[in-house]
Every structure is written in structure tokens, then in C-alpha cells.
Structure 1
């Protein structure tokens, strides 16, 4: 303390252990930090030697590199200064490498690996500087400035580089078992992305080998190897790669090895509408693997082999996926832990898969690489504890953008699996019901066979009558199911557009809530003083109550065809009126979004069918159009319904909008009509499936056609003839 009463902050002696042993979460993170330091030193390799003595239960870890080393001044003014901003200021190494260390604490991670540390660092000028550190010394010292370390500098003939020698006792000796070393190899394997996963990325390819040697540990096989990246990477089933810029616009490529001679698809994406906050430019390389038994065998046949060149078995291949899956986040060529760990599902892939297992992928099916920019450009800040990124707005955007990119892969995968019948597609309900109908030719065929076999005519007649009754019973049952399904689908459609009820009903409800108390108040005033002035206060409120009640009545009348609790018989109805009625369901929403609508066709044409089904078809189509035109901020949004009639029979009904349109891949496969398939966020996939079923019940087909502008659907007679 000075005479003026000013104090200086004195870090406690154990402060070094706090930013090392206590801050770094596990020994793997500590090794990774020291490996990064070797890279920053411009070394072409890092050698990790783990050796043990079973007799005295001690072990030694030697981490060495061939980098530029440190001078005595570097050791004193940089290495021995906690939280130095040296690398933050320099940003690149003498050879031009982007520096991995920035916070000035990574070297103290050595304290988690053993009891002491010997630093020996040699410069190209032939000077070796040594420092010996016993971590217990910092525990015992009251203040950090009380800890004194001896620094020795000598001339040497050795080449430049740094050697860290760490020794430990029985506690650490017991922890380094087979599982620990297996996890260490996993961490080192995932530390840097393989060359195949950085194609097209502005990342200088640096020679940097990670060598691991293990010897003397009880129960652990001795090894001496160069760590290699994912052997399974090139044998993917599906892949999506490319980049998205800081504004959310980008170019992606989708490819598959599921079928031979497949053509890669390049396409543009625009996610700018999702978030205002940027997370910088992102590069993606995401590979997905199907995991059924036959799928795994396909992966093996593509060339998945062990180190000896033998094809892996199904179990070994599955274990390889189990151990290497995850979507990692990389900056300047190094992974940010734990993003990408198999057990750390930061993208919530498993949660989404539970909700939609036929379309969504799980985290154990994907090996992915997401490359991010520097903190200054991206806003993505790594935590000091090396346990991920700070959960700020930029991190939220990173999550959602990555989910959107994966979604682009998922919908293409879903379509392909449907076309190859890999995803156990669900036939449309109407098609399944038709299988329950038994045609009379089956009965006739059976009777003829009985007659040719010489069965008594009386017996044959009895069997024929039994079959006739069974056919009639089945047909009645199937028809009953059909009608019930139709009612349920109408109700489901009503539930699907409940947002219409909430949106349009909110205004009159708010009026009732606010004005009914006023009506009661002025009613009481008028009761006490029945003057014309007080009556004048009541009349406008009463009139507006009536107008808002009429809004409710009109809303419910527009929704009434979908809410039918009982299936009516087919009847003739004016098609133009029903089409306009389906649009009227969304009357206020259409007005709010500025959507122009038109129904074009002969106003007097009548169609024989179920009116409720037509409401189900077109309310689902309109609901989809409104969603996508709003989602994509379409200028001049519009919907056109046009139908043609020939000789008093329907030829077709065309439905078109000015929205973003439908991907050609989805059009070709017609997967959009399958239940559970949806390109909407949190979509159920029911809308078009219901529309397709409703069309079939009226002997019509609902097809999606390619269009240069917007979505284009055509409803026409199922047999191709005007009806």
C-alpha cells in the first residue's frame, strides 16, 4: 500500500492452477492446447510420447516439435506472462500460419497432465532455454509474485524446437487406461479436418503431422502411429457442401453415392430472412450415412477397409460410425471442442428425429465440418475453458443456419429413399382402402375352378353365395372407413388452419373484451338517467357489437364445410362457388398479406362430388401458399384458380401462386404428397397428403407440375378423361 492508500491487485499463487488445471476441463483438452502451440511454432509435426513404469507407478509425457523455438526473452516476457496478448496482437506466426492461441493460458494446461513440467526450447541460433516448474509450488505460495523459477540458457548443437516433459505419479498412472488413450486418439483425429473436408475453403494446407507413441501402460497396447483422419469419410451415402456468406446467401452442392452415376445438384440458398445478427461466412461439409444393415453393407462395398487392407465387417463399420459421428465446428483448421463430439448434440438432431424419424437424421448418422471465421468477423467467441462457444446471438444463428443446411440434405435424402422404397413409404390411405374392395371376378374365378374340379353344383352355389356376402360386407366396411377417414381429414385440415381462426377471431374478441364493460357502464347510467345523450353513448357500442358478432358468424360459416361431423352423400355443387369459398376462409389473411386472388372458369358449371373434399384440397393449398409467400417476402403475391370444362365435364383445375415454387427434385419424386414430409420448419407434412387423399375420393388426381414461377398444381380426372 502506498501513502495515498492505493492498493495493487496481487494474484494468489494458485492463480496459475486456476487458469490451467481448474479451467481446462479434461486431459484431452490439455493435450490439444499443447498440440496447437506446436502448430503455432511453425512446426511440421508434434510428437506425443506417453511412457510408464509399472514398478513405481509413474509415467512421463513428452511433447516435442520442430518449430522455431523461443528465445530467453520470449520465455521471460511471453511464456511466463499469464494471459499475455502476444498472439492476439500478432495473429500469424513467422511462417504465416494463423495462430490458434489467443488467450495466453493454453500452456498452463500442462498442470492437469502431471506434477511438474520441464520446458526446453531451442532457437535456430543454437540457444536452448530451460525452465523447470513444480505445480505444487504455486499451491504453497500465498502470492504469484512469490514463486521464483530458475531459467537457464546454454549453447547447443540441437535443431530448433520445443520439448515439454511432464511427469506424474500413481493417480495419473491409473487414469491413463485403454479407454483414456482411445478417447485421446479420437480427440486428435478430430482436431483437424481431413483434406477431403476442406475443399473449396480458403484455408492454407499446412503440413502438420500428429504422432503418438504409447508404451509401458498396463493393459494398454503399445503403439507408434501417425494420427489419421476419418477412414469412413469418403464412403458417405449423402453429402451437402458449400458456403453461406455473412448475409445468409450461398451456394450448396448435394450429392449421393446411394445410386450409381448420380448427378450432383448445385443450388442457391437464401437464409437472410432468418436472423438479423450475422455469424460471418460459413463453409459446410456434411456427410450422412444410413445405418440399416443393408446400408452398412453398401458402405463397406464402396471400399471401407482396415489398416491391413481388409474389408471391415458390418459390426466394425457400425462401431466406426458410433465413434466418429458428430458435426464439428472448425476455426483456422482446428476444431472447437466439444462441438462435434459424438455425445454432444449441439444441433438437437436427435430431438428432431424423435419428432419425425422418417425424414430427420440422428447425430449418429452424420460426420460434418462447419468452418467459421475469426471472432472479429463472426462474433463467435470461444470460451476460455475450451468448452465450446459463448451462447450469444451469433451462436444461435450458427445453430439455425447449420440446421437449415442439413434440412436441405434431409429433404433430398427423403425423396431419394422414397423413390428407392428405402424409407418404408406409406401408401396413400385411399390406395390402401381400395385393396379392401373385392371385385366380383374373384368370386367368379373361384366358382369356375370348383365347377371344373367336379364339385357338386349345390355346394358350389353355397360357396358362391358366401363369397358374395363376404364381398358385400368388405365393401361396406371399406366404404365406412373411407367416410370416417374423410371426416377426420376434414377435421385435421381445420386444426391445421387454426391460425386463421386465431388471427381473424382475435379482433372481434378484443372488441368484446374492451367494449362490453363500457356497454354495461352506460347501460347502468341510462337506467338511472334515461336521456337521449346517454342513449347516444350506448347505440354505437351496440351496433359495433352486432358487426363484430357478424364477423364471427361469417368466419364460422366459411369454416363450416371443414367441420362437418358426418359425411354427407355426393351432390352437385357450383365449382366456382366452392373454390371462392375456400379462398374466403383466408379472407382477412389474404388482405393483410396483400395477396391478389382470382377464380377463372364458367360460373354455372356443377360438379358431382363431396364439397368438403374440395375445401380440404384448396384450403391446404392456400395455406401453403400463404406460408411460403410470407416466409420468402414475395413481392406482388398472388393466387390463381383456373378450371376448364368441356361438354359439361371437368377437364382440369389449375392452382398457381407467385411464391418461391417447389424444388424440381421433390416434384419428380412426388414425395411432397407423402405424410410426414414437409419443407416447413416444424411442418407436419399432412397438408398435401390430405389434399391428395381428398382428390382420390372424388376420382381425381392432384399432381404437382414444374413451373418457372411459383407453385403449380393440377387437379384432373384420375382416368385422364373429362368427367
Structure 2
């Protein structure tokens, strides 16, 4: 029985050490040191030393030496957490303590609990397993004078000798990836820090990444704080070496924190929703600060990242956002399977922009003295789901959305570099859809999912027929197909993970919506001879309610004949769509500049014409908002947006429309196109090469 427990229930020696490290975690240890001395020789020795709670004589005899004792499983089932660091136990079956038997024949254990003497246990498994029955075994437990743990120190030390197998360099490196996965990613009071030492083979572990190294390999780091209505942030972009993209830092101080509309809708019942996080959101919460480390596991990016396998393994265990109050962790936020912010669902709805749980390691810091409104549940598995908690979620999600906007700029830069390097040559949405269809059929997921796959495939065919026509640039094809393939692969992975049908339907539906956003463009509408003043009149009428609702003064010199009119032959509907997308941007950013303003005379949009461009007449849309905070080339790239709710396809759509109409989009200065000085915000010109002045 002992041989079965030690030898056969644990697959290999590496996992046996991992089980012992998990035992240290359950014992409320702050640090564990795993040492493998001469592991590739018969004289090798393995030791695991922690500073946890240690064991009393009763625990030694009644738990540690009792096969199958289910103490940890009962604690987990009842939600009983460790007294010092509030941890739920990782152990369940009561066999981890026999992992040492997998490693070697001789085990020496020293342990000391609080207010208890140090005890030593020596076991020679080769002698014990020669006995037929367990009641014939004799194991000597000795009280020591404190050989290893002095004074008030507590902990457990296990040494294993007469090893059963020699360890290779590969074994050691795989062990490191295992134990790193449960190391605490942040420097806080309840850290669990694991160190691995191979004193006679330092070269074997020289280049392995510690937790700090893994976080240092994050492509994005974002620090923020929000208190008394003021938002401060620091953003760092650190592209992988060899990608030939320059990194940089950016920051903001004492700003408003934009509140995404989708978050405001589940917090407020009013018709007029706030577009910034109100100052009173921190009442009974206090200052909220945080740090996010964000990774990119797209296969075109990971080829530039050394030790990607180790990073992926770490993220699988540590991905998510944790919460700390006075540096003590609040469980279960950030545990595997816990998605308290709904990051994966956001990723379904915004696949190109939103960050998922397995790509982020984050912490949120709160102060105990000022967060009285956040009440921990009796079961100690998080805060009560009250209004204060929902405000905390809104603050964190709003900061995360702000990060995603900044990040979308740099994802676009990386995408363009990868395209120039020919990385997009591997993009093949048809292959991804074929794989997806096979998986759906294999798992018999039903007609609804099959219909959604059919829709995705039909939209892709539309894209191929339209975008592969003469004149469509390969960048358009590569960019859109890349996002489609990414969405299909994410759905494929979700199916293999066994996600519920309703989640799969959400993922499928969101992918179809992304493609439907371009449906008007793909649809070949007939061209018609039209005056630009007619287009402006129609768009103005369609948006008149919006202008009134957002307290915007609209000026249209082209309609009052103060500006010249011109004629063009274009598909009418898609050009109006392009104009509306530019207006959408102006309306949004005017609200951001004056979030609480009720004066209609302050916000303004002007639609006029200009003969500034030698290529042809232009329609100019200007406002007095904050202006474009993106480089011109980024404004027109897909999936790049600083809007809290933006998908980053509106201006890209407008760009495609203008190119299809033999035109282009430009961003002149207000002086160049003769605008009044009051229009000091964004200036966008739709230039039509085939336009003719009337």
C-alpha cells in the first residue's frame, strides 16, 4: 500500500517535488527552498525546507504518517483557510506527503510548530516495505534540542537520499516551471516564494526565469491610481527584442477616468449616463491603485520571446487580477477559474481589443482603513456583492479599458511590422474554419453552433470576394483575415476546453457581429451622381437628435452656401456611413472634454468644404474637442482606439470607403482649410480625387 501511494499515484519525480512544495503552501509558508545536490549521481540528495506552521506530535502521527488522511480536503470543502495568509489548501487526497517515497529510499524530516518542540522522523523505506502489514512498521519520532529551527522559528525540513533516479538538466528545468507557477507574482506580506538551488550544476538553472523575470518579460506594464475623482496612470510598452519596434513610456496626471457606456448601463438607471467615473465612487472604498502586466500569446508575437513555454505555464496558473487589502490578499480574486471582472466575456465581445485572463497578471491595492464598504463574505471567498463592490469593479474595469486603448496603438504597430516581415503569410481563416467545423461535428454541439459557424464561413467568403478584388491592398486582407482567424481559433480553443454552450454561442455571435460591421461595405451598392451638400444634409438630419442630446452646435457652411459645393459619383450609403463615423468620434470626444457640461454653446462641430488639396475637393469635419491623441497613421488602422467602448473599426471603415471611392483621408491644420480659430480640436478631411466643383 505504501509503495502504491508513493510510487504509482504520482507520475514522476518532478511532480513528487511539486507535491511537497504544495504541502509547504498549505502549511502557510512564506518561502520554500528546494535543493538538489548532485542530482545526477547516486550520492544525490534532495531537500525541501519551508518556514510554514510546522507540525506538532499529534499532526505528525495523526495526519502526516496516516495514509489518506483527508484533512486538507475537508478544509477546502468547508472553506477553512489558513490562519496567517488566508489560503485555501491545494492538497486534497492526502497522498502528497508520500511523494518523498517516489524520490528516494531514505527520508529525514525535522519539523517545529508554534509552542512545540522540534521533532525528527527518520524513515528507510527499503526496510519498511519489507514488512507485510502496516501495523508491523516501526517509525521512531524523536524530540530534538532544535537542530534546524531556533527560538520561535517554525517550519518543516525534509531531506531525501538514496535517490531512485538520476536527474537530468531537462528534469530540473521542467521542475522549475512547475514550482514557479505557484510562486506569488507580487511583493506582498502573503508572498509564497519558491527558490530552486542546484549547487553542483549552477549552469543548469542559470538562464531560467524567476517570477520577477517573467513579469519583466511582459510587453505592457500599466500602473494607475484613482482617488477623489483624479486618475493618474503610467503606461510602458516593451516590445520583444528582435521585433524592431521601439518601446516607450507615457503617463497622465489628475485626469478624469472615462467610464465605458456598457459599465455605466449596469450601474445607472438614468437616461443620461455619466461618461466619467464619478468622484463619489470611492466612498467607503478609499483610494484604488493597481498594476497590470500584460502579455501577448499570439503565435506571430511569441516567436520573438525566449522561454515562452515557461511564461505560458506561469500565466495558466497566475493569470488574472488579484485584490490585496493592506498587502494581504483577498481570496478568491485572481485564482484559476475566478473571473471576477468578466475579462473573458469582454474578450468575446471585443476579440481584437479586450484583454483576457490568461494574458494579464494584475493586482489591485486597497486600504483597510478606508474600505469599510467592502465587506468580506462569511465564507471568506470575496466581498459581498453590494453597490460598493460594483463601484470597485467599475473603477478597475474603467482603468483596464483605458489601458486597452493605449495598448491597441502598439498592437497596431506590431501588426504592421509583422506584416512587413511577411509574418501574415501564415494567415489562413479557411483552414481555421475547417478545423473548427471538424471539432463542432466531433463533439456534436448541435444545430445552433453549426449555423453560427456557417454564418462565419459565409462572411469570410464575402470578405475574400470583395477584398481580393483588384485595388484592395494586401494589408487590408492580411489585417482583417488575421482578426477573423484569431476569433475562429479562440472559439476552437473554447470548444476544446469544454466551455458551456451559451458561452460558445456568445463567442460565435460576437465573431459574426465583427464581420457584420463591414457588411455594408462588402455589399456592392450602385454608384450615383450626388452633390456633397446632399450627403451632408441627410447625415445632419439623421443625427439631429444626437446633436441636441449631446448639447452640440452644428455649423454647416456647405448647406448655407457659405462654402462651395462639389459633385461626385459614389455609392451614396457607404459614403454617408464614413461621414457618420467621423461624426461619432467628434461627439464622443466632445463629451470627454466637457463631461458634465450642460451649455449647448460650448461644444461645436463644423462641416464644410475646402479646395486646399491639389488632389481634389474635400469635405472637412472639425470640432473643438481634445483633438486626435493618436498619430495619423494609427487613427486609420483597424482595432486601434482610445475610446472606452471603441472597437477601433470606425475610422478604418471610413478609410476603406474613401479608398474604394478613389479618395483618401487627411488631417490638415485648421489654418490650412480656413477654419475659425474656435475649432481647435480634431480636423478630418475626406478628399475625393474625382470630385468636381459646382
Give the alignment's TM-score, normalised by structure 2. 0.52
CA distance, structure 2, for counterparts of residue 48 and residue 228 of structure 1: 25
Task: Report if aligned partners of 1:29, 1:386 keep a CA contact under 8 Å in 2.
Answer: no
Match of 1:251 in 2: 233
Which of 627, 630, 635 is residue 670 of structure 1 equivalent to?
Answer: 635
Match of 2:380 in 1: 386
What stretches of structure 2 of length at least 5 have no aligned partner? 1-20, 31-49, 71-80, 95-110, 119-145, 157-174, 197-208, 259-275, 428-459, 474-515, 671-678
Match of 1:80 in 2: none
Task: Report if aligned partners of 1:328, 1:336 keep a CA contact under 8 Å in 2.
Answer: yes
Structure 1 residue 235 displacement after superposition: 0.9
Structure 1 residue 260 displacement after superposition: 5.6
Which of 508, 529, 537 is residue 571 of structure 1 equivalent to?
Answer: 529
CA distance, structure 2, for counterparts of residue 324 and residue 413 of structure 1: 21
Match of 1:267 in 2: 252
- Correspondences of 1:7-22 after superposition (within 5 Å): none
Q: Does 2:608 match 1:642?
A: yes
Distance 1:186 1:489, change over 3 A: closer
Match of 1:277 in 2: 281
Match of 1:161 in 2: 152
Task: Report how many aligned residue pairs link the two structures.
Answer: 456
CA distance, structure 2, for counterparts of residue 631 and residue 587 of structure 1: 20
Task: Report if aligned partners of 1:47, 1:210 keep a CA contact under 8 Å in 2.
Answer: no
Match of 2:455 in 1: none
CA distance, structure 2, for counterparts of residue 332 and residue 121 of structure 1: 25
Task: Report if aligned partners of 1:660, 1:710 keep a CA contact under 8 Å in 2.
Answer: yes
Match of 1:712 in 2: 683
Match of 1:620 in 2: 581
Q: Does 2:66 match 1:57?
A: yes
Distance 1:228 1:677, change over 3 A: closer
Distance 1:28 1:704, change over 3 A: farther
Distance 1:711 1:352, change over 3 A: same
Distance 1:375 1:435, change over 3 A: same
Structure 1 residue 391 displacement after superposition: 1.9
Structure 1 residue 701 displacement after superposition: 0.8
Distance 1:333 1:685, change over 3 A: same
Distance 1:709 1:270, change over 3 A: farther
Structure 1 residue 49 displacement after superposition: 4.9
Which of 383, 401, 414 is residue 395 of structure 2 equivalent to?
Answer: 401
Match of 2:304 in 1: 298
Q: Which has the higher contact order (CA 8 A, sep 6+)?
A: 2
CA distance, structure 2, for counterparts of residue 715 and residue 700 of structure 1: 7
Report Cα offsets for 1:569-588 as digits up to 9, x if no partner. 43142x33432332222223
- Correspondences of 1:598-613 after superposition (within 5 Å): 598-601=555-558, 602-603=562-563, 605-610=565-570, 611-613=572-574
Match of 2:137 in 1: none
CA distance, structure 2, for counterparts of residue 228 and residue 646 of structure 1: 58
Q: Does 2:664 match 1:701?
A: yes
Distance 1:324 1:210, change over 3 A: closer
CA distance, structure 2, for counterparts of residue 490 and residue 234 of structure 1: 38
Task: Report if aligned partners of 1:598, 1:641 keep a CA contact under 8 Å in 2.
Answer: yes
* More displaced 10-residue stretch of structure 1: 585-594 or 644-653: 644-653
Match of 1:335 in 2: 329
Task: Report if aligned partners of 1:30, 1:109 keep a CA contact under 8 Å in 2.
Answer: no
Distance 1:657 1:718, change over 3 A: same
Match of 2:546 in 1: 589
Structure 1 residue 286 displacement after superposition: 1.0
CA distance, structure 1, for counterparts of residue 603 and residue 465 of structure 2: 33
Which of 344, 348, 352 is residue 354 of structure 1 equivalent to?
Answer: 348
CA distance, structure 2, for counterparts of residue 613 and residue 260 of structure 1: 35
Q: For 2:305, what is the secondary structure of its paired residue? A: helix
Q: For 2:281, what is the secondary structure of its paired residue? A: coil
Distance 1:606 1:409, change over 3 A: same
CA distance, structure 2, for counterparts of residue 577 and residue 721 of structure 1: 14
Match of 2:619 in 1: 653
Structure 1 residue 406 displacement after superposition: 2.5
CA distance, structure 1, for counterparts of residue 88 and residue 359 of structure 2: 36
Q: Does 2:339 match 1:345?
A: yes
Distance 1:684 1:232, change over 3 A: closer
Task: Report if aligned partners of 1:337, 1:387 keep a CA contact under 8 Å in 2.
Answer: yes
Structure 1 residue 233 displacement after superposition: 1.1
Structure 1 residue 629 displacement after superposition: 2.9
Q: For 1:257, what is the secondary structure of its paired residue? A: coil
Distance 1:622 1:184, change over 3 A: same
Structure 1 residue 638 displacement after superposition: 0.7
Tell me how large the CA RMSD over aligned residues is.
5.7
CA distance, structure 2, for counterparts of residue 428 and residue 661 of structure 1: 35
CA distance, structure 1, for counterparts of residue 653 and residue 644 of structure 2: 19
Distance 1:720 1:262, change over 3 A: farther
Q: For 1:570, what is the secondary structure of its paired residue? A: strand
CA distance, structure 2, for counterparts of residue 237 and residue 647 of structure 1: 40
CA distance, structure 1, for counterparts of residue 518 and residue 178 of structure 2: 57
Structure 1 residue 598 displacement after superposition: 1.0
Report Cα offsets for 1:445-467 as digits up to 9, x if no partner. xxxxxxxxxxxxxxxxxxxxxxx
Give the alignment's TM-score, normalised by structure 1. 0.50
Q: Does 2:303 match 1:321?
A: no
CA distance, structure 2, for counterparts of residue 702 and residue 274 of structure 1: 33
Structure 1 residue 664 displacement after superposition: 2.2
Match of 1:692 in 2: 655
Q: For 1:402, what is the secondary structure of its paired residue? A: helix
Q: For 1:232, what is the secondary structure of its paired residue? A: helix
Q: For 1:379, what is the secondary structure of its paired residue? A: coil
CA distance, structure 2, for counterparts of residue 352 and residue 414 of structure 1: 15
Task: Report if aligned partners of 2:68, 2:93 keep a CA contact under 8 Å in 1.
Answer: no
Q: Does 2:175 match 1:193?
A: no
Q: Does 2:215 match 1:233?
A: yes
CA distance, structure 2, for counterparts of residue 29 and residue 388 of structure 1: 24
- Correspondences of 1:212-227 after superposition (within 5 Å): none
